[in-house]
Amino acid sequence: MAPNALAAVDERGGKTASRSLDLEAGGLSVSLEVDSVSLMADAQERYAPFLTRSPAAYRLGLDVVPSNALERDGWTPSVSREGRFLRCRSPLFSWRIDRASGRGRGALKPTAQALDGVLRTLFAGLSPFEDRLLLHAAAVAVRGKGYLFVGPSGAGKTTLSSYLARIPGVRVLTDELVLVGEESDRLVLFGTPFWGEFRPPQRRGWAPLAGLFFLAKSRMGTRIETLDFARAHSSLLKCLVAFHRDRGMLERSWEMVLALLRARPARRLAWRKGDPPEAVLKAVEEAAPFQSIGGGCPGLQYSGSRGAP
């Protein structure tokens, strides 16, 4: 259990539970403090592999509010920037955080969905400032290499993840949201606490990026096609998890998308369920032989951008 100054007795089971949730994924660490023992007990269990004892860079105190306290039009959360503050509004929760101090306050309805929404929007909102990309994608690690499978909802991320997971030695990092960042001059895929339907025993994991694939369904068996840069870039941009409407934040994320594609050319993986998982994995590995990229890697820094004006 994470260290917590707000330990309390759980009204349901009489166990000592925490009112804080300290999570880390991809080097991005957040701490939520919520005055609801039952809600936090569920969250501690749900996000267990991503709990951390290290001090979080961002801390958010959340008040639990009645169901009708956060009504607003629309259902999509939106993150906006107000100077050094980031602000998020949604029908289920709202928060405001000072990026300089890392402290913030907010409110949420007493549901697991609202808490999950707070975490997703926090990770999405903060990632551009932490040199991270949050993508709708699945990621698997095998033989020390990471493969990124990108696609919107319904593209087959969960299906492919569960399919490849049948192969001994394949580890699914996530089937829904991936953080991509640069570590020690390498592009790295990080698992996140956010999963789709496929929920194997989760562990926090990462792997250096070896290949990037857009998913497509096939009637003719597994095949891999190259994608031109412009098309791949627009497809990847559409899979960016960005609740923000802020131009500057989107510009930063856009630069990172371009840098990622310069480092790892995108391919299209068309496959069907009838193909042996080993054959799918073999095609993936052969299409993207791992190359360690050392100093001078384009990485995800915000330097000049080849290919852009």
Partner 1 sequence: MKYSRRVAQRVIDGQAFVLDTKEQELHSLNPSGSRIWELAGRGGTPEKIARALADEFEVDYRRALCDVKGFLEKLRTLGLMEDR
Site for partner 1, rule CB under 8 A? 228-230, 233-234, 237-238, 242, 245-247, 250-251, 254, 258, 307-309
Radius of gyration of the chain (CA): 20
Residues 6 or more apart from 309 whose CB is under 8 A from it? Answer: none
Q: Please identify, using beta-carbon distances, which residue of 295 and 309 lies nearer to partner 1.
A: 309
Q: Please identify, using beta-carbon distances, which residue of 206 and 254 lies nearer to partner 1.
A: 254
CB contact burial 139-153 (16+ within 10 A = b; e otherwise): bbbbeebbbbbbbee
Q: Please identify, using beta-carbon distances, which residue of 34 and 242 lies nearer to partner 1.
A: 242
Q: Please identify, using beta-carbon distances, which residue of 161 and 235 lies nearer to partner 1.
A: 235
Q: Please identify, using beta-carbon distances, which residue of 81 and 109 lies nearer to partner 1.
A: 81
Shortest spacing between CB 146 and partner 1, in angstroms: 25
148 within 8 A of 189, measured Cβ to Cβ: yes
208 within 8 A of 144, measured Cβ to Cβ: yes
Q: For the chain, give percent helix, strand, coil, nearest 5.
A: 25, 35, 40
51 within 8 A of 23, measured Cβ to Cβ: yes
d(CA 98, CA 125) in angstroms, rounded, equals 12
Shortest spacing between CB 230 and partner 1, in angstroms: 5
Q: Please identify, using beta-carbon distances, which residue of 138 and 236 lies nearer to partner 1.
A: 236
Closest CA to 149 of 298, 300, 292, 287: 287
Shortest spacing between CB 188 and partner 1, in angstroms: 25
Shortest spacing between CB 154 and partner 1, in angstroms: 19
Shortest spacing between CB 249 and partner 1, in angstroms: 9
Amino acid at 286: E
Shortest spacing between CB 309 and partner 1, in angstroms: 5
Q: What is the DSSP code (8-state) at residue 56?
A: P
CB contact burial 164-186 (16+ within 10 A = b; e otherwise): bbeeeebbbbbbbbbbbbbeeeb
Shortest spacing between CB 234 and partner 1, in angstroms: 6
Q: Please identify, using beta-carbon distances, which residue of 245 and 282 lies nearer to partner 1.
A: 245
